[in-house]
Chains A and B, each alone.
Chain A
Amino acid sequence: MGERRLAVHVLDTRIEIVLQGRDTDELFARAEEAWSLALAPNTDVDAVVVADLLPEGGQRHHRAVGWEPKPGKPWAFAEPDAGRLLMLLTQYVTSAAIKEQSGRLLMLHAAGLAHPQTGKASIWVAPGNMGKSTLVRTLGPSFCYLTDETIAIRRDGTIAPYAKPVSTRVHEAAGVKEERAPGPLGLSLADIAARPAGLVFLERDATHEGPAQITELDTLSAIEAAVPESSAFMVTDKPLQWLANILESTGGARRVRYAEASDLLPLAREIMGEAP
């Protein structure tokens, strides 16, 4: 039994992760590797997530979806399986960061990649389990990694990265995901600030044949499609006008129907430009 701590900087939020329970040294090593692109000093933290690895067979303790801790209290959960704990850790870190940035950042459920030299970013909007991580693993090594989960846009038009572990579904039926370190997947961070250059709604269809089918969306339709995939949209100041400005300054939004993530490479290049 012990306790290990690390901190990550995600979505402009510094979050301390406290690992408790059994096998904390091994758990710390796995978490440190998985979050390697987001590690930060353990000072001036905005929120704390406590993950307790229970003895095998222990009674897991997860909060209900939408639960938030009282002000000043940590986000906390307990789980007997280490792999599942790391998956849940990502979800709790995401919730904590989104909570901290509610009203400040425009947040969309999307994957994001950026050109390493221009910072031009492509934003790929989709619900969970609809191809975002696969897209990142496939196209990401040619560009820079922003996120496979939440794109957050600041008022100044730059993107706050969320370089989380890449979630990969390993047990389809159980819905368990493995949290993989971005580095070994060939993913790296951009050295310059990323800015939106194009927004795409993903519509993966395994039966689709031929090149990706692209449909232009007008501003109102794009916002209607984006709102269900947003976080804290309703508590953001003038969110409709903010998102409209982003869309209209980047050539609008598109919906793309495709079968394989590699089919999206031409569109990625069109939005971000050819990577060196």
Chain B
Amino acid sequence: MSVQENSGAFSTGQVKLGDIVDVLEREGESLVLANGMIHRLSPPATLILQRANAGWIGVPELVVALVTEFGDPPDGDADALTRDMVDALIEAHLLKSRNLSSST
């Protein structure tokens, strides 16, 4: 298996916390300072960062964590919504990603 780290759009694989300078959480929401910018994150996005803080984690595990905490989303499927949030967090440099692929 080869591992390729990148900071681009995330398709499959795992994510972990990016180079975060400071985080402030209040009532589920958070402010995150990274890459010279401040980001305000919703409770679901905050939960993703919390889980990614422990090390590499895959999207399926994040989906389970989000559904457990917030329930199924009223519209759209949890998997797609989670991937959208993860992509946005990667784009903002709040998460790092790596794709895992099998080598022959």
Contacts and interface: CB of A to CB of B under 8 A. Distances in A.
A211 to B, nearest CB: 30
Those 7 A-B pairs whose CB atoms lie nearest each other, nearest first? A240-B24, A240-B22, A238-B22, A227-B38, A219-B26, A244-B24, A220-B31
Nearest to B23: A240
A141 B40 CA distance: 39
B34 to A, nearest CB: 10
Interface residues of B, number: 12
A234 B21 contact: yes
A83 interface: no
A224 interface: yes
A240 B40 contact: no
B31 A234 contact: no
Interface string B26-59: 1001110100101010000000000000000000
A232 to B, nearest CB: 12
A219 B23 CA distance: 13
A224 B22 contact: no
A91 B30 CA distance: 35
B28 to A, nearest CB: 11
A252 to B, nearest CB: 11
Contacts of A220: 24, 26, 29-31, 40
Contacts of A218: 26
Interface residues of A, number: 12
Nearest to B32: A240
Contacts of B22: 238-241
A88 interface: no
A82 B8 CA distance: 54
Nearest to B35: A234
A223 interface: yes
Contacts of A234: 21, 33, 36
B2 to A, nearest CB: 36
B12 to A, nearest CB: 33
A219 B31 CA distance: 10
B6 to A, nearest CB: 25
B93 to A, nearest CB: 14
A172 B75 CA distance: 54
